[in-house]
Structure 1
Amino acid sequence: MDAIADDAGGKRARGLDRAFEILDFLRQKRQALKPNEIAAQIGAPRSSVYELVNLLLRNGILEFTGGDGRVYLGRKLYFLGAAYENHFDFTRECEAALERLAGETRETAQFCMLDGNKYTVVHMREGARPFRISTDIGQSVPIPWTASGRLLVAHMTDEEILAFIPPQDFQLPGGEWLDPQAFLTEVRQAGHEGFFTFNSIVDSFTHCFAVPVMDEGHAAATLCLVTPRDDGLANRDRYLTCLKDAAASLSQAPTRPRRG
C-alpha cells in the first residue's frame, strides 16, 4: 500500500508541475491558445494537457477567450495576486520608492527580480519625459541582456552562474554572442561596486542603471532607471545617488506579512 500511495503522490506532484508549466507558458506567450497548441509547444501529451486545462477552467484559473476553444489566464489569478499584495507591506514600500525615483529623475523607474533563470520587471513607474520607454511587466528576459542581471547573480560562484543561465541566453538580440567570461567579469565588477550601468543591449537609444535591493546578504531584487542614452550619461552620478538611496530604504523595509 505504501508503494501505491507514493506512486499516486508522485503523479499528483507531476500533474501540479505540468499545471504550473501551462500557466507559466501562457504568461510568457501573452496570448490565448488552444490546448493542443499548448501541448505541442511545451512537449506534453495532449490528453494530460486537456485534462489539466479543464481542471483549471473549472476553478477559474484559466478562462476561454478569443474563440475557437482558446484559453488564457483567468481572473482568479488577479484576485490571488491582489490578496498576496495586500498581505505584504513591502509592495507598498516598493511602489512608493518607484514613485519617488520617477519624480526625482523624470525617468522610467523599475523594480526587477529573477523569475526562475530569467529576469523580469515586477513594478514600473514611467517618467515625466515626452520620450517614453515601455517594458512589459512580467515578461521574461535573458539575464545577460540586462544591467540588473549582473547584480542578481553576483552571490553565485562562476560555476553556479554558468550552470544557472541557459547557454543560448548569451546570444544577444542582434544575433551576436556575449562571451560568458566577459559577462562573469562584469558580474564581479557589479558585485564589488554595488551597481551596474551600461548602454542597453536591447534598445540602442537607452542607458540602464541598476542597484541591488539586499536581503540576507545578496541582491533579492534591483531598482533600475531606464533613460535616454545622452541624458543618462550626463546625469550618471545623480541618478546613481537617487537609486542607492531608494534601494537602501527598501533593503531595510520589512518583507514579512503584515499582522492582521
Structure 2
Amino acid sequence: MDAVQDEAAGKRARGLDRAFEILDFLRQKRQALKPNEIAAQIGAPRSSVYELVNLLLQNGILEFTGGEGRVYLGRKLYFLGAAYENHFDFTRECEAALEQLADETRETAQFCMLDGNRYTVVRMREGARPFRISTDVGQSVPIPWTASGRLLVAHLSDQEILNFIPPQDFRLPNGEWLEPQTFIAEVRQAEREGLFTFNSIVDSFTHCFAVPVRGEEGHAAATLCLVTPRDDGIANRDRYLDCLKKAAAGLDHAPSRPKRT
C-alpha cells in the first residue's frame, strides 16, 4: 500500500514540475502557443501537456488567446503576484530607490534577482536621456552575461557555481566562449569589492554597474544596477557607484522583509 501511495505522490510531484515548466516556458516565449507546440518545444509527451493545460485553464492559470486553441498566462497569475507584493514592503521601497537613482543619474536603473538559475530584471526605471536604454522586465538571461550575475552567485563555492549554471550559458551572445574559471575569478573580485562593473556583453554601446542588495543571511539576494551609455558610464563611474551604494544600503534585507502591519 505504501509503495502505491509513494508512486502516486511521485506522479503528482512530476506533474507539478511539468506544470511549472509550461508556465516558465510561456513566460520566456512571451507569446501564446498551442499545446502541441508547447509539448514539442519542451520535449514533453503531448498527452501530459494537454492534460496539464486543461487543468491550468480550468483554474484560470492559463487562458485561451489568439485563436486556434492557443494559450497564454492567465489573469489569475496577476492576482497571485499582487497578493505577494501586498505582503512585502520591498516593492514600494524598490520603486522609490529606482526613481531616485534615475533622477540622480539620468540613467536607466534596475532591480534584479535570480529566477532559478537565470538572471532577470524585476523592476526598471528608465533614465531621462533622449536615447533610452531599456530591457524586458521578467525576461530570463544567462547569469554569465550580466554584471549582477557575478554578485548573485558570490555566496556559492566555485564548484557550486559550476553545478548551478548550465554549461551552455557560458556561450556569449556574440558566440564567444567565456571560460568558467574566468567567470569565477570575476565573481570573487565582485565579492571582495562589493560591486561589479563592465562593458555590457549583450549591448556593445552600454556600460553596466551592479551592487548587492543583501538579504538576512548577508549575501546578495538582489542587485541594484545602472545601464548607461559606455562613455558616460566610464566618465561618471565613482559618482554612479556612490549613488548605487547609498540606494542599496536602504534596501538591505528588504527582499525578505514582510510588510509591517
TM-score range, shorter chain: over 0.9
Amino acid at match of 2:245: K
Q: Which residue of 2 aligns with 1:96?
A: 96
Residues 31-73 of structure 1 show CA distances to partners (whole Å, capped at 9, x for unaligned) of 1110001011111111110010001111110011111111000
- 2:213 paired with 1:213: yes
Amino acid at match of 2:225: C
Q: How does 1:51-66 map to 2 (within 5 A)?
A: 51-66=51-66
Q: CA shift at 1:2, angstroms?
A: 2.1
Q: Quick one: structure 1 residues 259 and 213, their matched pair in 2 at CA, closer, same or farther if it must change by over 3 Å?
A: closer
Give the TM-score normalised by the residue count of structure 1: 0.97
2 CA distance for matches of 1:25 and 1:253? 29
1:129 aligns with 2:122: no
SS at 1:128's partner residue?
Answer: coil
Partner residue in 2 for 1:33: 33
Deviation at 1:254, TM superposition (A): 7.2
- Answering whether residue 256 of structure 2 is matched by residue 255 of structure 1, we say yes
2:111 aligned residue:
111
The Cα shift of 1:258 comes to: 2.3
Change (3 A) 1:254 1:189: closer
SS in 1 for 2:135: coil
Within 2, Cα distance between the matches of 1:176 and 1:259?
48
Q: 1:199, CA displacement in angstroms?
A: 0.4
Q: Residues 160-182 of structure 1: CA distance to partner in whole angstroms, max 9, x if unpaired?
A: 11111111111111111111111
Pair 1:237 & 2:238 matched: yes
Q: CA deviation at 1:253?
A: 3.8
1:101-133 deviations in whole A, cap 9, x for unaligned? Answer: 111111000000111111100000001111111
Amino acid at match of 1:101: L
Query: Does the 8 Å CA contact 2:213/2:253 hold for their aligned counterparts?
Result: no
Question: Using the alignment, how far apart are the partners of 1:241 and 1:258 within structure 2?
Answer: 28
Alpha-carbon separation, structure 2, partners of 1:35 and 1:255: 36
Deviation at 1:259, TM superposition (A): 4.8
**TM-score scaled by structure 2?**
0.97
Counting only pairs closer than 5 Å after superposition, residues 66-81 of structure 1 correspond to structure 2 as: 66-81=66-81
Contact 2:222 2:255 in 1 (8 A): no
After superposing on structure 2, the runs of 4+ consecutive aligned residues of structure 1 that deviate more than 6 Å are none
Residue in structure 1 matched with residue 5 of structure 2 by the alignment: 5
Distance 2:86 2:16 in 1: 26
Secondary structure at 1:68 match in 2: coil
Q: Would you say how many aligned residue pairs link Structure 1 and Structure 2?
A: 260
In structure 2, what is the equivalent of residue 246 of structure 1?
247
Aligned to 1:139: 139
Is residue 89–residue 255 contact of structure 1 (8 Å, CA) maintained in 2?
A: no
CA 1:10–1:177: 2 relative to 1, 3 Å: same
Deviations 1:206-242 (A, max 9, x none): 0000000011121110000000011101110000000
Secondary structure of the residue aligned to 1:110 is strand
In the alignment, what sits opposite 2:175? 175
Amino acid at match of 2:61: I
Task: Indicate how the Cα distance of structure 1 residues 165 and 253 shifts in structure 2: closer, same or farther if over 3 A, else same.
Answer: closer
Distance across 2 between alignment mates of 1:81 and 1:149:
24
CA gap 1:259/1:196 in 2 versus in 1, 3 angstroms: closer
Structure 1 position 252, deviation (Å): 4.7
Matched residue of 1:20: which SS? helix
Unaligned runs of 5+ in 2: none
- Corresponding letter in the other structure for 1:185: A
Q: How far does residue 89 in structure 1 lie from its aligned partner after superposition? A: 0.8
Letter in 1 for 2:219: H
Q: Could you tell me which amino acid in structure 2 is paired with residue 248 of structure 1?
A: A
CA offsets 1:136-157 (integer angstroms, 9 cap, x no match) = 0111101111000011111111
Kindly state the Cα deviation for residue 191 of structure 1 after the two structures are TM-superposed.
Answer: 0.4
Verify the 8 A CA contact 1:153 1:187 in the aligned structure 2: yes
C-alpha distance in 2 between matches for 1:22 and 1:198 = 34
Question: Which region of structure 1 is more displaced relative to structure 2, 179-188 or 192-201?
Answer: 179-188
* CA-CA distance at 1:12 after TM superposition: 1.1
8 Å Cα contact 2:107-2:128 kept in structure 1: yes
Distance 1:242 1:32, change over 3 A: same
User: Which amino acid counterpart does residue 21 of structure 1 have in structure 2?
Assistant: E
Change (3 A) 1:252 1:20: closer
